[in-house]
Amino acid sequence: MLRLPDPSRRHRRREQALMFLLAAPALAVILALVVLPVGWLMGQSFTDGGLTLAHYRRIFGEDIYWRSFAQTFRIAGIVTVLALVLGYPVAYAASQLRRPWNVLILALVVLPFWTSVLVRAYAWLVLLQRTGVVNQALDRLGLVDEPLALIHNELGTIIATVHILLPFMIIPLTATMQNIPTDLLRAGASLGGSPLHLFLRIFLPLSVPGILAGSTLVFVLTLGFYITPELLGGGKVTMVSMLVSRNVELYNQWGAASAVGVVLLVGVLAIFAIVARAIPLDRILGQQ
């Protein structure tokens, strides 16, 4: 092995320092507006006049917090599974088709981003109400006697949340699938494998990083959802972020809200820690 001369190592060190300097301004923004505030939040959660565990004791003691966390995680799980089931075929098509089809599909997937989340939520209201578009259509087709309760409950919340987060599943999946070499599949076919066999044994396993990336993203984003369950849940859905803001309203200091927020944050970090064992964190976030 070559022994590198000293100047080269110095050069490398200088290079690394330069790279860090380039990233420093962006990092400074993150430190000031994410790390500092969240750190403050954590500090507040242990404060109530003096240092205390009172807020945490209340969270782990009172029923409503358990229930809310349970409901939040359950909804996040359902949303993730649905997004995966619905998103996988679309990602597959987008990654395998030629122009212009793949561009068209991706354009349609990204299109909802151009519309405000608030307005999308209200559009779902119009669609899913008792007297809404879907129920009107079902009624006219004679498929139901009574309008279905599609909104102001968990179901409506899930439908709208999947809608909003589906792109976050499809895009990482597509990116991963695009990198699956087609000659692998062709080689498998030439060896006599059936299409189903090829898919299950070769394609699906190779798409797992994308599945993990998309699922993690969708799951974590659902955990933090606030507007959609507030508007479409009818009071029957209390996700943790809603609890955080209710605590801000009800309790005198920020400590109560901060404690709920910290528990949520720890949950999110735990998920990332677990997933990061399967694939490194920066691969989830885009680096190949």
- Answer for which of 73, 122, 148, 155 binds other proteins (CB under 8 A) is 122
Residues 95-114 contacting other proteins, CB under 8 A:
105, 108-109, 111-114
In the complex with other proteins, the residue whose CB is nearer, 6 or 63, is: 63
Per CB under 8 A, the segment of 48-56, 180-188, 202-210, 275-283 that binds other proteins is 275-283
Per CB under 8 A, the segment of 14-22, 47-55, 185-193, 205-213 that binds other proteins is 14-22
Per CB under 8 A, the segment of 2-10, 86-94, 180-188, 203-211 that binds other proteins is 86-94
In the complex with other proteins, the residue whose CB is nearer, 20 or 60, is: 20
Count of residues that bind other proteins according to CB under 8 A = 103
The distance of closest approach from Cβ of residue 221 to other proteins in the complex, given in angstroms and rounded to an integer, is 8
Residues in Cβ contact with 51 at an 8 Å cutoff, skipping those fewer than 6 apart:
none
The distance of closest approach from Cβ of residue 244 to other proteins in the complex, given in angstroms and rounded to an integer, is 5
Task: Say if CB 247 and CB 257 are below 8 A apart.
Answer: yes
- Answer for which of 38, 138, 148, 206 binds other proteins (CB under 8 A) is 38
Per CB under 8 A, the segment of 2-10, 46-54, 127-135, 180-188 that binds other proteins is 127-135
Residues 149-208 contacting other proteins, CB under 8 A:
149, 152, 163, 166-167, 175, 195-196
Phi and psi at 276, nearest 5°, equal -65, -20
In the complex with other proteins, the residue whose CB is nearer, 80 or 129, is: 129
In the complex with other proteins, the residue whose CB is nearer, 187 or 269, is: 269
Residues in Cβ contact with 266 at an 8 Å cutoff, skipping those fewer than 6 apart:
none
Per CB under 8 A, the segment of 49-57, 126-134, 137-145, 204-212 that binds other proteins is 126-134
